[in-house]
C-alpha cells in the first residue's frame, strides 16, 4: 500500500505497479468468483475479470432478459452461467451486484450459503451501512469487502477494452479469514481499476448518494434545465440554448478538465470566458452550498436510503420510473439534444494530398 499526498492530506492507495495483475491472479488462483446480478455493474466486472484470466461464474434469474444477455456475452448455462442460488453455492467469493432493492429481497437466500471462509463483495456500501433498514447482516465467518468503481459498469468495460482503467474505492468491513485485504485488492485490480483508494462502507455510500443526487446527476440536470430555460425565455433558439448549455460542456470543455484540470481548461479558453468564469463561480458555489449541506444531512440520517427502499419496493415502481424518465426524455431540452447529437459529424479520416 502506498501513500499519496493530496494537498497535505495523505491517502492510502494501491496502484497497478504495486499490485500487478499477475499478483492478483496468484492471490485468487484457488477462488471461484460468483457474480450475482447482470444488470448495471455485473456485466462490466464479470467480463473484465474473465478476460483477465480469473475463474468467474455468473448467477442470474433463469429465463430473464439479463440471463439471455449473459448468454450473448459468452456465458454458458451449466458451465459458467447458473441460477443465483447455485452460483452462490459454488462461489468462494460472492460479488453481490444486484440493485439495492433486489439485494434486500434476495438476502435470506444468499445468507444461507455464506459458509465460513467465503467472501461477500459489494460495489456499494448501501446494504451494510443501512443494515437496520435492509436486514443485510453477514455471518461472522466471512470476509465482507467492497470495490466501488467510480462510474457505470458500461464505462468500466469500455475503458478496459481501450486499455485504460476506472478508479475505484475499496473497503473492508469484516476480515474473518485474515485475507480480506489481499482479496479485495486483487479483485479491484481484476475488475479493471486504474488505482484503488481506501474508504469505509459508510463513507462510500455517503459520498455516492451525495454525488448521484448532486454534481454527477441531480444537480447537473437542474443546472442544465435552469440555464436552458433562461436562454429560451430570453428568445434564444433550442439549438443555441442546448449547444451553449450542454453540447459545448460535454464535447469541448469537460474533456479538457479530464485531461489536465479546471485551471488548464480555463487557460485554454478565451480571456472573456476566463474572466467571466472566475467572477461567477463563487456565486454559484455559495448559492448551492446550503443545498449540498441539506443533501448530505439527509443521506447521513438515512432518509435518502429509506426513500429509495420505499419507492423501489413498490409494485408499480418501474411504471412510475418510466414516467419520470419519459418526462426528461420528452422535455424540449433533451429533444433538442437528440437532434443536435444526430447532427454531429462522423469522424473522417484525414485526406492525404497526392502529387
DSSP class of 62: T
Average pLDDT over residues 185-210: 95
Q: 113, 124, 236, 353: which is the annotated catalytic residue? A: 124
Q: What is the percent of the chain where pLDDT is above 70?
A: 97
Residue with grid cell 451501512, as numbered in its chain: 129
Residue 174 has pLDDT above 60, yes or no: yes
Q: The C-alpha cell of 180 is what?
A: 480480506
- The per-residue pLDDT of the chain, averaged, comes to 92
| Residues in a beta bridge with 36 | 59, 96
pLDDT at position 348, please? 52
Q: Please list, residue by residue across 20-30, b when 16 or more beta carbons sit within 10 angstroms of its beta carbon and e when fewer do.
A: eeeebbebbee
pLDDT at position 243, please? 96
| pLDDT tens profile 9-38 | 888 889 899 999 999 999 999 999 999 999
From 1.20.1530.20, 3.40.50.720, 3.40.50.300, 1.20.1560.10, which CATH number describes the 2-199 domain?
3.40.50.720
Q: Catalytic residue at 236?
A: no
Which backbone phi and psi does 273 adopt, to 5 degrees?
A: -65, -40
Measured CA to CA in angstroms, residue 223 lies from 217, 230, 288, 333 at distances of 10, 11, 10, 12
Q: Please list, residue by residue across 104-119, b when 16 or more beta carbons sit within 10 angstroms of its beta carbon and e when fewer do.
A: bebbeebbebbeeebb
| pLDDT tens profile 58-78 | 999 998 999 999 999 999 999
The domain spans of the chain are: 2-199, 214-342
pTM, full prediction: 0.88
Residue 233 has pLDDT above 70, yes or no: yes
> What is d(CA 329, CA 349) in angstroms, rounded to the nearest whole number?
33
Amino acid at each position: 500500500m502506498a501513500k499519496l499526498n493530496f494537498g497535505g492530506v495523505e491517502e492510502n492507495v494501491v496502484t497497478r505497479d504495486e499490485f500487478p495483475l499477475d499478483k492478483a491472479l496468484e492471490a485468487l488462483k484457488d477462488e471461484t468468483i460468483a457474480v450475482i446480478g447482470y444488470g448495471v455493474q455485473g456485466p462490466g466486472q464479470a467480463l473484465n475479470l474473465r478476460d483477465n484470466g480469473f475463474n468467474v461464474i455468473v448467477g442470474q434469474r433463469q429465463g430473464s432478459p439479463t440471463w439471455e444477455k449473459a448468454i450473448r456475452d459468452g456465458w454458458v448455462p451449466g458451465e459458467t452461467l447458473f441460477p443465483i442460488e447455485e452460483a452462490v453455492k459454488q462461489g468462494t467469493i460472492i460479488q453481490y451486484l444486484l440493485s439495492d432493492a433486489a439485494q434486500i429481497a434476495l438476502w435470506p437466500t444468499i445468507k444461507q450459503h455464506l459458509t465460513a471462509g467465503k467472501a461477500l463483495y459489494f460495489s456499494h456500501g448501501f446494504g451494510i451501512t443501512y443494515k437496520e433498514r435492509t436486514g443485510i447482516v453477514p455471518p461472522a465467518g466471512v470476509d465482507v469487502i467492497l470495490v466501488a468503481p467510480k462510474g457505470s459498469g458500461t464505462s468500466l468495460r469500455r475503458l478496459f477494452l481501450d486499455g485504460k482503467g476506472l478508479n475505484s474505492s475499496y473497503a473492508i468491513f469484516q476480515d474473518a479469514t485474515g485475507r480480506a485485504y489481499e482479496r479485495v485488492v486483487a479483485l479491484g485490480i481484476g475488475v479493471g481499476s486504474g488505482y484503488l483508494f481506501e474508504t469505509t462502507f459508510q463513507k462510500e455510500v455517503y459520498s455516492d448518494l451525495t454525488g448521484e443526487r448532486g454534481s454527477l446527476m441531480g444537480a447537473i440536470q437542474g443546472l442544465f434545465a435552469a440555464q436552458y430555460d433562461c436562454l429560451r425565455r430570453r428568445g434564444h433558439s433550442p439549438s443555441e440554448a442546448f449547444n451553449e448549455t450542454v453540447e459545448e460542456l460535454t464535447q469541448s470543455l469537460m474533456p479538457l478538465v479530464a485531461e489536465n484540470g479546471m485551471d488548464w481548461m480555463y487557460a485554454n479558453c478565451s480571456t472573456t470566458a476566463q474572466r467571466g468564469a472566475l467572477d461567477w463561480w463563487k456565486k454559484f458555489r455559495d448559492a448551492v452550498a446550503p443545498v449540498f449541506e441539506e443533501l448530505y444531512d439527509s443521506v447521513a440520517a438515512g432518509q435518502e436510503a429509506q426513500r429509495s427502499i420505499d419507492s423501489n419496493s413498490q409494485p408499480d415502481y418501474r411504471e412510475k420510473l418510466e414516467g419520470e424518465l419519459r418526462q426528461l426524455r420528452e422535455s424540449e431540452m433533451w429533444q433538442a439534444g437528440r437532434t443536435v447529437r444526430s447532427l454531429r459529424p462522423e469522424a473522417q479520416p484525414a485526406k492525404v494530398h497526392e502529387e
